[in-house]
Amino acid sequence: MYWLVSKGLFTISRNPIFLATRVALSGFFLVAPNAATLALLAAAEVVIQVQVRLEEKHLLGLHGSAYEQYFAKVPRWL
């Protein structure tokens, strides 16, 4: 049995962990703006975007209409 977590931080963002990772990597780039941190930020952004979309597809299949309602109510990021 699987539960759809929709409380706590998940009431304002469907992906609070990935959101925090994006913010942290952006901050890292701002602290140390160079080609390496920019490449890390860009690569992470691509990977996170792909992962989030794969998870959304999986969760829709797993939870059906409950996830559709959650998806309509809570934004992906903020």
Print the domain residue range for 56.
Answer: 51-78
Does any domain span residue 64? yes
Does any domain span residue 55? yes
Please tell me the predicted confidence (pLDDT) of residue 18. Answer: 98
DSSP symbols for 13-42: -S-HHHHHHHHHHHHHHHHS-SHHHHHHHH
Does any domain span residue 32? no
Contacts of 14 by beta carbon, 8 Å cutoff, 6+ apart: 56, 70, 71, 74, 75, 76
- The pTM score is 0.88
Does any domain span residue 45? no
Does any domain span residue 23? no
Q: Consecutive sets of 10 residues in the chain, 78 residues long: mean pLDDT of each?
A: 91 97 98 98 98 97 96 96
Cα dihedral sign for 73, 64, 2, 52? Answer: negative
Please tell me the predicted confidence (pLDDT) of residue 66. Answer: 95
Please tell me the predicted confidence (pLDDT) of residue 67. Answer: 96
Does any domain span residue 35? no
Does any domain span residue 78? yes
Count of structural domains within the chain = 1
Does any domain span residue 70? yes
Please tell me the predicted confidence (pLDDT) of residue 7. Answer: 96
Helix axes 35-63, 65-73, angle to 10 degrees: 140
Please tell me the predicted confidence (pLDDT) of residue 2. Answer: 84
